[in-house]
Structure 1
């Protein structure tokens, strides 16, 4: 039988047994669902990890291409390009970021995406490269726009990665708790209740057998008394029929009082 620390402290009754069985069934279903959730999150976690590796490689390529494009633009356009870019920084940003959420097995994963703001920052930067090197300036702008796009994607993947990592740890802790603590305690409690109920049933059976034996002996005693009473009754009726009382009848062989001899 399980020790006291390995089971719940309950009163061993049929109602408690039914409640423990329901709790065990719920814990089993919860364990199966959490296990499936953990597997789904792990699959998504590995997929995001692969995408992060690809995004970091793309980030290195994009930064290298942007740096080379900036060098070409500065070489062709010269010093005036720096002043035009610095003046355009004071205006509102053209590229902005908004957040969404994806639901993966009940876990909300943040997802960021970039978009171009309508009517923001187009007048000052459009003048860059008019004096020379316009094509290189446009290529540089496109290269850095690609860098921003990859940065936003990488930030989205990194945030989802950390969120999934935390969710997987919490889910695995719950799975381990159900598998190693909750279910064994409930199973040990059910075994304990069944053992106690069986013991009570054996005690009740023994008590019923003792009661049945006592009633059987009492019935036999009453039947014996009735039989004796009936025999005595029958003997009394026979004696009355012959005119002799059973209590006052004397034996013919009794020599206590002898009659006198008759002489002819």
Structure 2
């Protein structure tokens, strides 16, 4: 379907300029889409591997916690874990990936610890089982991976949305706007040629009339 315009030389030149801009924009959007896809696939692979690792570590921690529950009384277990001793400060920033602002999550030592890592174990070791120690230590170790996993999953979602938007824009330019402009330019070119031929025909007739009068 062509665009409705007046078939004039000015309109012809305007549409040719618009076509060049559309083609340039189409190329830039395709490059952006391809780069977004590359980054997206890298993050998806990392997300898959990290999720498998985190799930395995959490399963190990929960299994040890169940063993601790079996050998310790409920009161002792509740008392041991009631008051957490360690604290984690989480900073959430953003970084720009192809005009997409994805999260950057980092964990920092609690203020006042001078960068030293705090002991995650909130109890003494006299009245607790080794399985509980292992469970809590595993949870402490998996925390940075959980933060990275949260960062990855949010980034993947944001990139997927941007890829979809960019793909729709590329398709709109490639299959709608650019063909319309090309067809309209072709139509105007044909009309201009017809007008030029009609003008030459009229000019020749006028010359024939003038010669006849002479």
Matched, 1:186 2:181: yes
Residues 19 and 178, structure 2, Cα contact 8 Å, conserved in 1: yes
Alpha-carbon distance in structure 1 between the residues aligned to 2:158 and 2:63: 35
Farther-moved stretch of structure 1 (192-201 vs 137-146): 137-146
Task: Specify the SS of the correspondent of 1:12.
Answer: coil
Q: CA deviation at 1:132?
A: 5.5
Q: Paired residue for 2:155? A: 160
Aligned alpha-carbon RMSD (Å): 2.8
User: Which of 79, 83, 104 is matched with 1:83 structurally?
Assistant: 79
Give the direction of change, closer, same or farther, for the CA distance of 1:64–1:170 in structure 2 (3 Å limit): same
Alpha-carbon distance in structure 2 between the residues aligned to 1:48 and 1:117: 29
Give the direction of change, closer, same or farther, for the CA distance of 1:215–1:144 in structure 2 (3 Å limit): same
Task: Specify the SS of the correspondent of 1:21.
Answer: helix
Residues 66 and 147, structure 1, Cα contact 8 Å, conserved in 2: no
Q: CA deviation at 1:179?
A: 0.6
Q: Paired residue for 1:214? A: 209
User: Which of 105, 112, 115 is matched with 2:105 structurally?
Assistant: 112
Q: Which runs of 5+ in 2 are unaligned?
A: none
Q: Which runs of 5+ in 1 are unaligned?
A: 1-5, 221-264
Q: Paired residue for 1:100? A: 93
Matched, 1:41 2:36: yes
More relative contact order, 1 or 2 (CA 8 Å, 6+ apart): 2
Aligned residues: 210
Q: Paired residue for 1:226? A: none
Q: CA deviation at 1:147?
A: 2.3
Residues 76 and 136, structure 1, Cα contact 8 Å, conserved in 2: no
User: TM-score normalized by structure 2?
Assistant: 0.84
1:169-184 to structure 2, matched below 5 A, reads 169-184=164-179
